[in-house]
Amino acid sequence: MKFFLKKFLDLIPTLLGISLICFFMIRLIPGDPVLNLVGERGVDPVRYLEMKKSLGLDLPIIQQFWYFLKNALHGNLGTSIVSNNSVWSEFIERFPATFELGMVGLILATLIGIPMGIYAAIKRNSFFDYFLMSVSLIGYSMPIFWWGLILILVFSVKLGLTPVSGRIDLVFDIPVFSGLYLIDTLQTSVLRAEGLTPFWSALKHLILPATALGTIPLAVIARMTRSSMLEVLGEDYIRTAKAKGMSKTRIVYIHALRNALVPIVTTLALLFGSIITGAILTETIFSWPGIGKWIVQSITSRDYPVIQGGVLIISFIIIMTNIFVDVIYYFLNPKMRN
C-alpha cells in the first residue's frame, strides 16, 4: 500500500510540470494570446476584453495557472476555435478509435512478438534466430509513416484487399455502445439488421493501420523477449530444473518465461508511448478519426486550445499507464511484495 502511495505522490510533480508546459505553451507563442485563441478571424474590441476577462488573462500569472489547473481538474479544457465544441467532448468522441487501433496493434505485436522471441532464444544461433533478429532490426528502423504507405500500396492499391481510409464503410450506422467498432458491430440490434457484414467491414478497415502501428512494437517485443529469455535460461535455477528432470517445455514455460516476462512488461509500458507516437502518424496516413489525427489537424489549423488540452490528456493517460504497469510489475515479481 505504501508502495502505491509513494508511486502516486511521485506523480504530482510530473503532472504539475506537464500542466505548466501546456499552460505556458499558449503564452509562449508569439502574438497576443487572446488573438491566438480566437484564431485569425479577428475580434471586436468589446469581445476582446470580454474574452480576456473570461480567460482570466487580466489576472496575475500565478492566479491564471491556478484557474487553469482548477478548470482542467473539472474537465474544462477550453473550447476548440475551429468547431466551438469543448475540447473534452471532442477528445471523448475520438478516443475510442485510437484506443481500438492501439490495443489491436499492441495485441498483435505481443501475440506474435513474444512467441517469436521465445523460439529464437530456444533455437539460439539458428537460421530462424538470425532471420528474426535481422527482420526485427529492420522493423525497428522503419519509418512508420512510410511503412503505412507501403502497406496501402500493396494491400489496397495493388491487391485491392483492404479499404484505404476510415474505420468502417459509411453505409452502416452503428449505435454507439463502447465506441470500439469491433465490439459495437456485434450488438444484437446490428447483427439482426445487417449480420456480420459491418463487423468484417470494421475489421478490414482496422487491419492495415493496426499492422502498421504494431510493427515497431513487434520488433521491440521480439528482441526484448529473446534477450530476456536468453538471460534467464542461463541462470542457475534453470540448471536446477534440468537436474530435477523437468521437461524442456516445462522449463521454458514454467521456470523461465514468467521470470523473463518481468522486463518485457516494463517494455510494454514504454511501448505505450510509442503507440501514441505511432497513432499520430498512422492515423494521419489512414485517415483514422482518432486523437492522433485530431492533434495534427489542430496544429495545421492553429487550434491552440485543442493542442493544449489534447497534450494534457494524452500525457495524463500515459502517466496513468505507467502506474498501471508498476502495479502489474508488483504482482509479477514476488520480491516487490515484501
Contact positions vs another protein (CB under 8 A): 13-14, 17-18, 21, 25, 28-30, 137-138, 140-147, 149-150, 152-153, 157, 230-231, 234-237, 239-248, 254-255, 258-259, 273-274, 276-277, 280-281, 284-285, 295-296, 299-300, 304, 307, 311, 314-315, 318-319, 322, 333-335, 338
Can you tell me which residue has the cell 463502447?
Answer: 178
- Cα 114 to Cα 221: distance, rounded to the nearest angstrom: 6
Report how far Cα 328 is from the mean position of its chain's Cα atoms.
18
Give min distance, CB of 110 to another protein, in A: 19
Burial of residue 204 (number of CB atoms within 10 Å: 0-12, 13-18, 19+)? middle
Choice between 268 and 285, CB closer to another protein? 285
Give min distance, CB of 150 to another protein, in A: 7
Choice between 106 and 314, CB closer to another protein? 314
Choice between 202 and 295, CB closer to another protein? 295
Give min distance, CB of 238 to another protein, in A: 8
- Cα 285 to Cα 242: distance, rounded to the nearest angstrom: 50
Choice between 186 and 319, CB closer to another protein? 319
Choice between 194 and 231, CB closer to another protein? 231
Give min distance, CB of 218 to another protein, in A: 16
Give min distance, CB of 147 to another protein, in A: 8
For residue 145, CA distances in Å to 10, 99, 179, 301 come to: 35, 19, 25, 21
In order, the DSSP letters of 80-101 are: -TTT-SBHHHHHHHHHHHHHHH
Choice between 29 and 112, CB closer to another protein? 29
Choice between 202 and 281, CB closer to another protein? 281
- The sign of the CA dihedral 122, 126, 130, 132 is negative
Q: State the amino acid at position 110 in one-letter form.
A: T
The three cell numbers locating residue 212: 502498421
Q: How far apart are the first and last CA of the chain?
A: 11
Q: Give the largest Cα separation in the chain, rounded.
A: 85
Give min distance, CB of 193 to another protein, in A: 34
Give min distance, CB of 183 to another protein, in A: 26
Give min distance, CB of 83 to another protein, in A: 18
DSSP letter assigned to residue 79:
B
Q: What number of other Cβ atoms are within 10 A of residue 61's Cβ?
A: 11
Choice between 26 and 190, CB closer to another protein? 26
Q: What number of other Cβ atoms are within 10 A of residue 238's Cβ?
A: 17
Q: State the amino acid at position 317 in one-letter form.
A: I
Q: State the amino acid at position 106 in one-letter form.
A: L
